[in-house]
Structure 1
């Protein structure tokens, strides 16, 4: 499994984000509620102190009088004369205000009753300090809750993902091993168990299909070898006749080339039908240059009398660890398509240290066909009804089997470029 896309991490992250959102909402709610209650209580205290002062104090109407308690000071002045009020609250309009002066916090009520101005100042510095302490406590509790959510989420994710991880490990273990099967005893009757049983059933069906494919390919190959051998021997006998004309001899040679191609194609299909990938490993390096020259001569019949020049550019020697028959079929399909669909110009086959390129100046491939070029039902949209997709599908399957990469570029009416990168 890729470390950057592990399901357990996504579950943990989701749980953590949910916990963070819930904790932050709860924390902000507490802070907002505390602030609202605090403001309402302070405002009630200010109004209550002013009413009590007016009812109980005979000097409440005397301008210039001030009444001071532990945290509250009440200033009584005329509305036009405020010089006896401290400067930091002197110019405040009617209403309730928050004022900070000399590192002290005040809640101030300014009320005009008749011609008298009442200014009630409440020192709420200690309340604000406790409020900040409460906010810090909320943050600490939020962090602790997030850490707890992370631990719970991680443990829960590992618990939930554990059977999936075991299933993935088993599937990875028996990959490319037809005789292996899942140990279904590790899974219960939940959704993971159902998935494991369905995967086992699918695996068994797939193995039966692959075995039948292998048997079919082997049987067909065995049945075809005899008539092909007979055709080859008959062509060799005919080629030894002294009274053959040049045209007849050329036709016999064409039959011999076709027989050779069919033999190589049968061997290729046998290799592609193998179930175990280990069986297709080939340790000897085969040089592609001679294979290309041989294939060009075999496929030149597709050029006929067309004014097409074939150029082989062997920039660097290219050796690939694969059977010569496989390489011959791979190259033949690419070159045959170039020969068939190039009416004039140049066909260039280039060899580099790790890639083979076939370029042509043919009719090209349009965009809709390009999207399906390696599918077995692809046709060239040029009015020609001959199918070319099967050959390219064989190229693609050979590349997939050996870990190579096939790609192409094409412009309608200007030509195509097919490239095989031998990456392993």
Structure 2
């Protein structure tokens, strides 16, 4: 069973329910006990009074013996001692009798075929009984209020270690290698065991982060050298006077591709390490410049596939962004549109708020759109050997930069990716 209330609310609810159950049972027990005691007590009193009346010799003696709040009747009795019709059907023993607006306790006895009835007005008993019931009800309500108050006070005290542990776990410093163990601050109880479990989990997470940092450092070191060799080789080839125009264009393509690889390596390293200082030193560029470069780069592949490429730019601002991140986001969206569009057109619209990429491809069902931004998730029309990381990378970059990306459908088919840019966050 899943509870949606907080832990403190559950404790308060448990206190109130326990009080409701215990107090309810106790109150009902009091009411039942009062009723049984009343019946036994009054039954004994009325039995004794009736026995004494039956020992009298004459009716004249009887009229003086009943108590002021008692009435005495018997079968064939003279005058006011005559048994009324509403009492003739009573069975022997103690019982309650209601007549009009009056209520009586009655004790009935049959002797030699004659029925004797002694009534006693129960108004006083009813008043005391109602007062007792009122006290029980008020006590029950007060106990519920006290249970709620006590539950709140104890809940804060009980969950205080849990709240403190949650606050400590959320601290970014806990991922540091020299962070102190959490379990040392807690007793060897359930909270202490939870803190020890967090220590184990954080230890494994620190180990994984350390291993990733070492891996990215190694990748950075190993890839930069061959990329530098490629760049320098391209520069030397471009200076070769015997190189014709076609060869020079191919060398420029290789140089541009190696530069893109270098920027992508830097992108992955920044996202993996979250190095704000290094990102702040990265190349900045305007949206118009990046969009023009990528539009020129992708126009030929799209048109060679038989697609119409529409590029509309109306950027008036000079806001500068992280060039590598911006190029990666826009390039992945254009590549995704080219990859999943067989016919029709691809449109890139750029303005001061951001950019929009539209295509007339296979589209993505609404139930799968959010999942498309997860790693290793590909569309239903899977093509090529991609791993499904492009849109995941787009989402990660947008989150890190404070940008937003939204996926909607095109009619009758296709997708629309809209990216709204914001000022780069502090540290980037």
Shorter-chain TM-score above 0.5? yes
Contact 1:170 1:182 in 2 (8 A): no
CA distance in 2, matches of 1:25, 1:351: 73
Shift of 1:22: 1.5
CA distance in 1, matches of 2:57, 2:410: 101
Contact 1:302 1:336 in 2 (8 A): no
Shift of 1:296: 3.0
2:24 aligned residue = 24
Shift of 1:262: 1.0
Contact 1:342 1:363 in 2 (8 A): yes
Summarize the Cα distance change of 1:209–1:388 in structure 2 as closer, same or farther, 3 Å threshold. closer
1:12-411 correspondence to structure 2 within 5 Å: 12-39=12-39, 41-42=41-42, 56=56, 69-76=67-74, 94=90, 99=98, 105-107=103-105, 121-150=119-148, 152-175=150-173, 178=176, 181-182=179-180, 184=182, 185-239=184-238, 244=244, 246=246, 248=247, 251-275=250-274, 287-312=286-311, 322-350=321-349, 356-365=355-364, 372-382=371-381, 384-409=383-408
Superposition CA RMSD, Å: 4.5
Shift of 1:328: 1.2
Summarize the Cα distance change of 1:356–1:413 in structure 2 as closer, same or farther, 3 Å threshold. same
CA distance in 2, matches of 1:176, 1:313: 48
Summarize the Cα distance change of 1:243–1:422 in structure 2 as closer, same or farther, 3 Å threshold. closer
Summarize the Cα distance change of 1:395–1:55 in structure 2 as closer, same or farther, 3 Å threshold. farther
Contact 1:176 1:276 in 2 (8 A): no
CA distance in 2, matches of 1:289, 1:57: 125
Shift of 1:264: 1.8
Shift of 1:41: 4.9
1:10 aligned residue = 10
Summarize the Cα distance change of 1:264–1:277 in structure 2 as closer, same or farther, 3 Å threshold. closer
Shift of 1:330: 1.6
Gaps of 5+ in 1: none
Shift of 1:379: 3.3
CA distance in 2, matches of 1:316, 1:67: 114
CA distance in 2, matches of 1:340, 1:99: 93
Summarize the Cα distance change of 1:69–1:374 in structure 2 as closer, same or farther, 3 Å threshold. same
CA distance in 1, matches of 2:104, 2:147: 40
CA distance in 1, matches of 2:316, 2:57: 112
Secondary structure of residue in 2 paired with 1:303: helix
Contact 1:311 1:348 in 2 (8 A): yes
CA distance in 1, matches of 2:25, 2:351: 64
Contact 2:302 2:308 in 1 (8 A): no
CA distance in 2, matches of 1:176, 1:293: 44
Summarize the Cα distance change of 1:321–1:165 in structure 2 as closer, same or farther, 3 Å threshold. farther
Summarize the Cα distance change of 1:368–1:101 in structure 2 as closer, same or farther, 3 Å threshold. closer
Secondary structure of residue in 2 paired with 1:347: strand
Count matched residues. Answer: 412
CA distance in 2, matches of 1:158, 1:263: 54
CA distance in 1, matches of 2:318, 2:106: 91
Gaps of 5+ in 2: none
Shift of 1:144: 4.4
CA distance in 1, matches of 2:347, 2:99: 86
Structure 1 window deviating more from structure 2 (258-267 vs 108-117): it is 108-117
Shift of 1:149: 3.5
If the length of structure 1 is used for normalisation, what is the TM-score? 0.76
Structure 1 window deviating more from structure 2 (125-134 vs 158-167): it is 158-167
If the length of structure 2 is used for normalisation, what is the TM-score? 0.75
CA distance in 2, matches of 1:320, 1:207: 38
Structure 1 window deviating more from structure 2 (249-258 vs 217-226): it is 249-258
Q: 1:180-212 CA deviation, whole Å, 9 max, x = no partner?
A: 523554223333333323423432442343233
CA distance in 2, matches of 1:351, 1:43: 98
Shift of 1:340: 0.9
Summarize the Cα distance change of 1:143–1:369 in structure 2 as closer, same or farther, 3 Å threshold. closer
Shift of 1:415: 1.9
